Amino acid sequence: MLLRTVPFRTFDAFDQFFGQATGTTGSRGSAAPLDAYRDGDTFFVEIDLPGVDPASIDATVDRNVLTVSAERTRVEREGVRRVISERPSGTVTRRLVLGDSLDTERLEASYDAGVLTLRIPVAEKAQPRKIEIGTAQRELSTAQ
């Protein structure tokens, strides 16, 4: 039986659907939207994390589960009364289940202009390879 494998999948679809994630201290953050795509032998995951201090970003892989979390803080000043407060704060977390076809040992991450970019190479064992086709006639001639 052949199975179509997916290199990664999210399992926080509930947060994504409702557009919210649990924030710290009762504040309401938003799920970090992401794009994922393959370019050649590398998969890319781009996660929007605007207004996040790069030092607060934590990315880990454990048993093919990639977890990315970041802290978005709001500076509170004494004597200032907020009139509108739409920008989310708190902890944002995304989890992706990575397929066995990805080489998590060589995963690279960078953060630029509010976007965390993860580069995950396709594992060598999962890359296409050329298979030599023999013929019965060729095998008979070399055996004689």
Spell out the domain ranges in the chain. 8-129
Q: Determine if residue 15 is left, alpha or beta; phi over 0 gives left, psi from -120 to 50 gives alpha, anything else beta.
A: alpha
Residues 12, 16: Cα–Cα separation, whole Å: 6
59 or 86, higher pLDDT: 59
Q: What is the pLDDT of residues 54-75, one digit of tens each?
A: 999 999 999 889 999 999 888 8
* Domain 8-129, second-level architecture: Sandwich (2.60)
Contact present, 49 and 58 (Cβ < 8 Å): no
pLDDT at 23: 36
Q: What is the pLDDT of residues 4-19, one digit of tens each?
A: 445 555 544 434 433 4
> How large is the average pLDDT for residues 71-83?
88
Q: How large is the C-alpha radius of gyration of the chain?
A: 23
